[in-house]
Homo-oligomer: A and B are copies of this chain.
């Protein structure tokens, strides 16, 4: 039985957001599940020497243009939010808390959080905003509110992030297919080809 495709992303990553509109279809065409793995990408910046996109003049201007163009290409609603980027720890905690109960509901919550931020401009750094978004999707707000303060859930997000770094996962989106890493929404065509051919 084939292992799931792993899909790593940060909730503040617009390229990760665009990838959510494609990755499950790619998996489905090849009979593969896709395990969504949000993590805190910023934790790796000290190791890799990378910085947030907005801290790179010129590169950021290009990226904003490229994001609009890429979102348009894949019919993804997209407006660069303000503030950008934001801390995504509450969104991550909500996701993993939900994942332990219902993987499908967790994936839907991830979509709702991403859409709220990148299509509606809602600030998902705010735990109350995360709870509102979850509640609109049918999740119990009190239970989620408690979970966001739960030390076990907090540790879960730290562990996911630490393990991602241990595996040299540093970007968003970063897709692992049978141990092979592919970085960037612009690598999803290569992911698809790899799934078709098992490598080349």
Contacts and interface: CB of A to CB of B under 8 A. Distances in A.
B61 A168 contact: yes
A39 to B, nearest CB: 14
Main DSSP-derived SS at the A contact region: helix
B50 A59 contact: yes
Interface string A172-194: 00000000111110110110010
Contacts of A200: 69, 72-73
A196 B181 CA distance: 30
List the number of copies, as a whole number: 2
Given A72-B200, A184-B186, A186-B186, A57 B62 contact: no
Contacts of A189: 189
Interface in A148-200: 165, 168, 170-171, 180-184, 186-187, 189-190, 193, 200
Nearest to A181: B62
Interface in A47-80: 47-51, 55-59, 61-62, 65-66, 69-70, 72-73
A14 interface: no
B186 A66 contact: no
Contacts of A65: 181
Contacts of A171: 59, 62
A57 B187 CA distance: 20
A56 B66 contact: no
Nearest to A72: B200
A81 B84 CA distance: 38
A16 interface: no
A69 B199 CA distance: 9
10 contacts: A44-B58, A48-B57, A49-B59, A58-B165, A59-B171, A61-B168, A62-B181, A69-B180, A186-B187, A189-B189
